[in-house]
Structure 1
Amino acid sequence: MTLQEHQQWLVTFYKQRNWYQYSPFIRLNFLTEEVGELSRAIRALEIGRDHPGEKPGSDAQKRANLQEELADILDQVLIISAKYDIVPENLLTASETKLGQRFKNS
């Protein structure tokens, strides 16, 4: 599946759940929430979490959680992109172009 195919699948899914109507401004808040969850997942992998309300997970569980949080962030980025009619592959091109130009003499 391409990023564009997944973006279209997400848009359809979000519309079915009545989640798509939220503005990009609200979506940004959801993205920020997901970044916090990613931070927690990375912390668990890198330095652990000493929290009495949580059972320590295995490395496999921690990595699965990391993947889930990265996917959640990607989904939010794709939905925001769809709100502005941005083709996801164009994000990849924009990133490569920007970094290539910025560091061409490095």
Structure 2
Amino acid sequence: MTITDHQEWLVKFYQQRNWYQYSPFVHLNFLTEEMGEVSRAIRAVEIGRDHPGEKRATPGELQANLKEELADALDQVLVISSLYDIDAQDLLQASEAKLTRRFEGQM
């Protein structure tokens, strides 16, 4: 599966759930929420969580949770880009072009 294939699948999924029609501002809020969950997952991996109401997670569970939260954040970026008619593949190309220009001659 390519990133563009996933973006197309995701848009259809969101449309079926009636989530796609929300404005980019709402999806930005969802992205912010997901980034908080990424933060929490990284904290758990790096320094742990000392919370009496939580079961201690195994390294595999911590890694799986981080992967899930990163995927959720990526999905929100892909939905937002779709709302602006930006293909996911174009995001990757724009990133490489910007970094290549910015650091030209240093690599």
The interval holding the TM-score normalised by the smaller chain is over 0.9
Q: Distance in 2 between matches of 1:22 and 1:9?
A: 17
CA-based RMSD of the aligned residues comes to: 0.7
For structure 1, the residue ranges without an aligned partner over 5 or more in a row are none
Structure 2, gaps ≥5 residues long: none
Q: Which amino acid aligns with 2:72?
A: D
CA distance in structure 1 between the partners assigned to 2:105 and 2:62 by the alignment: 39
Number of corresponding residues? 106
Q: TM-score under structure 2 normalisation?
A: 0.96
CA distance in 2, matches of 1:98, 1:35: 23
Identity across the alignment (%): 67
Cα deviations across residues 17-61 of structure 1 (Å, max 9, x unaligned)?
Answer: 110111111100000000000000000000001111111100000
Question: Taking structure 1 as the reference length, what is the TM-score of the superposition?
Answer: 0.97
**Cα distance in structure 2, aligned partners of 1:103 and 1:84:** 28
